[in-house]
Structure 1
């Protein structure tokens, strides 16, 4: 979780990310001989591809294990999988449903474990998001990111990331879909130290007025497909469209972690506009995760 990192550690990751992005060839053997296991219980495009490509570009290799090979806690206990893989590979990247699975994996493994998404958190995404914001502004002081939509795992990790780094965060959700009160409470403690301002709203219009960046995500995440129709009604006033964008600051940037349900949480007109940095954001997943991998697997050399 990002809450485990200090502001200095976050800055170190971002500085290394910039070096990797500017001169990738200089890091082509950084993880030579290293192997990571990718365990993905949930479908993935960007996360899986960016980790596989990242390891390859760093001189290492990856093994992908889907639900047909590994069923955490069903076919075999999480602790036994963690201990076994610790004998074979140098790191584990886990994408799972229950957050308790990543905690158990990290507790039992003797090698680094990276959270590639749980129902509670999505830290790699949020790190790439903050890095992307940083590319577009000189610093985070007086910059406001407004997250519009579901108070989900991405929202939770943004709470930790923004509050740690000093980036103001507005969150607008329907009352029923607000972020975890416990995570908000923790983020407010971090924000007090960093100077970030965290504000929660139940109306999108109020949250975007001071925004430098608008951010949204799907209204129904993986595992919530049965709720999709009901959620569309609840979130209909939380769509990022041209009308909402005009209420934000002039030149306001637009972000989305993808996959996007065009015409629902965001319109084609906005995601394909000059305000959109959605695909810069997607690219930066690769660079940030390479920095994370080097920090965890390369520093021991």
Structure 2
């Protein structure tokens, strides 16, 4: 884990296969109480978008490590008044030990990393959500003991979560199928990158949800309209209706298949309440694992010793 000290996590491929495995193993040990690293560091949260799970899980993780958290709300700081990212980054670099950013453009995140020497973590951009995928992989590993050879099918909008699932699956030997309407498929460059990274896994992008789900051990979905797209939700409803994760769709999956959703969920839209609350659901374990995976990530990037 020493090689991760001082590094950034701006995109899922910033970690290689072994580093992802190391973070997941550390998360397991932290969750089980086998390791209890401590620090007196300060984590900054700079979120330009709304957040519940990411904000709370990062905060609790840092507090449990013994550190402090500063919420840099753009509405009450100069960053919300147009201060250049370059200036903000250089100042925060002198105050904080690590910084998690939730923003719109991936380029803004990269600019922060360029001008700040402290570790920068992508807490979600329009392009990627790598921290979510670490929690997802941890949840899958808890259920199946391994990642390699399993098939995860993501059904719905080809958004930032779908992008990180493609990349994370490619890096860890997890087969990933994306089922999305023709005009809502994931970024073609991300798909190409995932296929290039994949050495022991298959990457597929399909339009037929039944074909995609057939035989899958993990079925994953997300809202049909992401943050900032709420005004498009009604128009998308009829387009995405065939992609709803319901009992009928789940009947085509592996008999031991589990269901994941990164939340928040719209019951009756992308997933039914019956599936979400059913025996196959691991959604609440997945949500809890945000905290454990991010605690492991913070510990790794700060180089904490037990």
Partner of 2:190: 183
CA distance in 1, matches of 2:236, 2:99: 34
Partner of 2:216: 211
CA distance in 1, matches of 2:178, 2:79: 33
Provide, for residues 37-84 of structure 1, a one-character-per-residue CA deviation record: whole Å limited to 9, x for no partner: 100111100000001101100000100012203465852011111100
Partner of 1:283: 288
Partner of 1:38: 45
Question: Aligned pair in 2 of structure 1 residues 255, 71: CA closer, same or farther (>3 Å)?
Answer: farther
Partner of 1:19: 29
CA distance in 2, matches of 1:71, 1:300: 35
Question: Aligned pair in 2 of structure 1 residues 300, 106: CA closer, same or farther (>3 Å)?
Answer: farther
TM (normalized to structure 1)? 0.95
Tell me, yes or no, if the aligned pair for 1:173 and 1:238 is still in contact at 8 Å.
yes
Partner of 1:55: 62
Tell me, yes or no, if the aligned pair for 1:151 and 1:180 is still in contact at 8 Å.
yes
Partner of 2:172: 165
CA RMSD of superposed structures (Å): 1.4
SS class of match (1:183):
helix
TM (normalized to structure 2)? 0.94
Number of matched pairs? 296
Provide, for residues 188-211 of structure 1, a one-character-per-residue CA deviation record: whole Å limited to 9, x for no partner: 0111x2x10111110111101121
SS class of match (1:47):
helix
Q: Using the TM superposition, name which of 70-79 and 7-16 deviates more.
A: 70-79
By how many angstroms is 1:255 displaced?
A: 0.3
Asked whether 1:127 is paired with 2:137, we answer: no
CA distance in 2, matches of 1:20, 1:62: 19
Runs of 5+ consecutive residues of structure 1 not aligned to the other structure: none
SS class of match (1:114):
strand
Provide, for residues 102-131 of structure 1, a one-character-per-residue CA deviation record: whole Å limited to 9, x for no partner: 111111111000000001100000111011
CA distance in 2, matches of 1:239, 1:67: 35
Q: Given the alignment, which residue of 88, 101, 117 partners 2:95?
A: 88
CA distance in 1, matches of 2:13, 2:78: 28
Higher RCO, Cα 8 Å, sep 6+: 2
Asked whether 1:151 is paired with 2:158, we answer: yes
Partner of 1:112: 119
Provide, for residues 152-175 of structure 1, a one-character-per-residue CA deviation record: whole Å limited to 9, x for no partner: 000000111000000001110001
